[in-house]
Structure 1
């Protein structure tokens, strides 16, 4: 058998050598190779047309090797060399990176409908009930119904105002914990607890504190947010999808999804089985959703998985992100005592001697609002926003973008773009005084909550908490950094929201 195989191989090698030595056969072979190469090149050129600039990439990985745990920094650096519209590849997935206000406006305003879809993610599908939430649900009739529920029934201005008592009570608890005895307090931990409690009470009618089910829920929620921010390499390099099984990610995702589902199902079952204990209808998001679920109110039909997915959206978008903004706002104020004093003066003049700051008081605090806008500009909570996908071929800034291309907007880089902002790296709230620029999705140089159809519907809810808590903190206490602090560490750590790498510790003195 071995002799027969060897004879066959020798014969094939001899025939190949004779063919290659034949000048006519050799020329024909070269011509075929050139024809194939030129055809592929022409096909690629015709397809890509006027593609956006793109850095050199590696086979299989594309540009993944150029990204760190803080990709908004890496993409900003790459954009400086390749322009505000740049095409990179996350493995096999072509991705358009927008890093200027003009590019963002074309994507979220001029061609908003063309980019109204979300990329498919196996991780999101498993964690968010097969994409039944409003954030990553595919564009279509189901998504429009969910968006209507959120905008009209859950997160309208009237509904946000109705939660003022929740914000006031939880802020008063925060004030009590701080104490004001000139001792160091961990504001990062306190802000996380506060936002969790506000969102819990608003979303499901009760909060979960220390011990028992409360501690279990907070632990599950923390892990859910961690897993949600994880990249599944198989979504970008399908041939490496086995890594999720090898490193335990797949098992962890399934476990977290099951634990979250068990908890939410128990909350829903308890509310449905004990109507006598149910809080007043409309007092929290869960009751509103259950009314729609049982009565098909407003002509909208949703199932239990939809309810759970929406509630998860509220937790994912309303806890870490709100705490993040408060954390960075206080960090910047503590680094700049003059700005902090200015803000305190305004708040105390408007509130006078009252401990009870009202919504009307907040509306009169113009420097407070400028401080919040400057914080959002310099420290965008979700720097790359939630990605979109091109639903059709479209032109952006003169470049051709193919259908199916993923689109990421670097809102963090836009907030620091020198073509839009003077001295963009400095914290200067004055830039927003006597300025019409706002964060509500109309001014594309400041889009921390996105814009267009897929803009965040919870903007008013989040900012009501941020403004109210910050106003009370500077109203009730004088603040300073610990004596041994030195220069405040402003480095970031990765996550769903980009928070401080080092917890914020400060000293509060009762006024």
Structure 2
């Protein structure tokens, strides 16, 4: 009897198994197999982590050369798709742009004391569109930038004064730190009319936020502490601005004034104001400072390029005054140098997107909610679009370079999908104009006024161009050099 019952139970289980398998096969026929992008060999639990080096965009670049321009990677329990060619970048940021207007959440939300008000990472929607329009029409418009031209001029002169002093004393300077200080002062004064390096302790705190924000972005406890300190500081600054507004004492509107006016008109949360200013310090200083350091390093390592730039400045500006922002449109070689620097050393090498619907990219399936990274480092070294892509050649952007006749017209807005230093499309960087204004003016002035030597013995040495591991693809070693005065600026 036992044997009979056991046989019957086994038979019933077999039938059920057959039915389940049949149903699964039927379901599989209804839903075609997903064709994922290719992946490198994976290891259990860690996935593809062993393929990655500390300079992650270079790791992605190397993997793309082995496995193709669109690859799928898994790091632990998370996965993402990495695009590494201009053709694939165009599919994501132009052909299917409407499906990739949002950015993925990364890290943990525990640090977000502003409860989803991040302009950089917020979902594409009403709030993001409102803030983008506000940036383009008021906060970062050409009119607003022109209002603070005197600020940039004054801060540039303070930088020159510091370098002249170091030149006379024959001491080396950390040029990266000097540039960071200058740009933080510019941002501080544009945001709230205060310099970061004066005796004002509150403004000095803002300098620390801009300098340290990227370095703590993956350390949750530190960034929570940083943001709480920042929140207290901005609250005090807002109260000061509010008081001046009530007393009728207000000069030309800074960013805080504009944001407070909008806040009163719409009776909105102050979290949005605080977070926008926080992101201005985080994104507005580190990236521009990084780009300037790479540009100066390239000029030191390429003396022929530096000589040609100085000849252009001398021809256009003369020898009796310092180059000004208004001279930049008449300095095409300067513009070419900046473009080439941003191509080779873009401060934000990885562009983050999230797919909002199932779609096909480069012939592969990209399911809804997939995290997508566009590797701008690879895109702007794509050999299909760039001759000798690893060479520093500003001439490729000049009008008279016949083999690259179209590239001189390349703008910074990402309309040409093989040149995307500020991203592209709706989620392109809204601060590009401010960054470029600062980079062009500062680089031209430094090239006009100083030589920079790696040591004080006059030995012809070059700058180490190795990249560090920070989020902004900064130089691994500080840019320490001796400024040698060649044109008296003051």
SS of corresponding position for 2:213: helix
Provide closer, same or farther for how the CA distance between residues 217 and 457 of structure 1 changes in structure 2, counting only shifts above 3 A: closer
- On the 8 A contact 1:99/1:409 being kept in 2, the answer is yes
| Bigger mean CA offset, 400-409 vs 487-496 | 487-496
Query: Any gaps of 5 or more consecutive residues in structure 2?
Result: 400-407
SS of corresponding position for 2:80: strand
TM score, norm. by length of structure 1:
0.84
Please give the alpha-carbon distance, in whole angstroms, between the structure 1 residues aligned to 2:212 and 2:22: 49
TM score, norm. by length of structure 2:
0.88
Of residues 203, 226, 241 in structure 1, which corresponds to 2:215? 226
Provide closer, same or farther for how the CA distance between residues 157 and 53 of structure 1 changes in structure 2, counting only shifts above 3 A: same
SS of corresponding position for 2:372: strand
Q: Deviations over 1:174-193 (max 9, x none)?
A: 11110143543221111111
Please give the alpha-carbon distance, in whole angstroms, between the structure 1 residues aligned to 2:304 and 2:8: 84
Report the equivalent of 2:431.
Answer: 458
| Bigger mean CA offset, 492-501 vs 396-405 | 492-501
Please give the alpha-carbon distance, in whole angstroms, between the structure 2 residues aligned to 1:31 and 1:428: 69
Deviation at 1:124, TM superposition (A): 5.7
Q: Deviations over 1:174-228 (max 9, x none)?
A: 1111014354322111111111111111122212215533444433443333222
Query: Any gaps of 5 or more consecutive residues in structure 1?
Result: 1-14, 231-248
> Is 1:213 matched with 2:202?
yes
- On the 8 A contact 1:384/1:409 being kept in 2, the answer is yes
Report the equivalent of 2:405.
Answer: none
Deviation at 1:131, TM superposition (A): 2.6
Report the equivalent of 2:474.
Answer: 499
SS of corresponding position for 1:388: strand
Please give the alpha-carbon distance, in whole angstroms, between the structure 2 residues aligned to 1:476 and 1:41: 75
| Bigger mean CA offset, 426-435 vs 61-70 | 61-70
| Bigger mean CA offset, 207-216 vs 304-313 | 207-216
Deviation at 1:363, TM superposition (A): 0.4
- On the 8 A contact 1:377/1:448 being kept in 2, the answer is yes
Q: Deviations over 1:458-491 (max 9, x none)?
A: 1011000000000111112233332468442111
> Is 1:340 matched with 2:325?
no
- On the 8 A contact 1:93/1:405 being kept in 2, the answer is no
Of residues 343, 346, 349 in structure 2, which corresponds to 1:380? 346
The root-mean-square deviation of aligned C-alpha atoms, in Å, is 2.9
Please give the alpha-carbon distance, in whole angstroms, between the structure 2 residues aligned to 1:320 and 1:24: 70
Please give the alpha-carbon distance, in whole angstroms, between the structure 2 residues aligned to 1:42 and 1:36: 10
> Is 1:91 matched with 2:76?
yes
> Is 1:330 matched with 2:318?
no
> Is 1:253 matched with 2:223?
yes
Provide closer, same or farther for how the CA distance between residues 410 and 122 of structure 1 changes in structure 2, counting only shifts above 3 A: closer
Of residues 446, 452, 460 in structure 2, which corresponds to 1:479? 452
SS of corresponding position for 2:350: coil
> Is 1:280 matched with 2:251?
yes
> Is 1:197 matched with 2:167?
no
Corresponding residue pairs, total: 469
Report the equivalent of 1:8.
Answer: none
Q: How does 1:365-376 map to 2 (within 5 A)?
A: 365-376=331-342
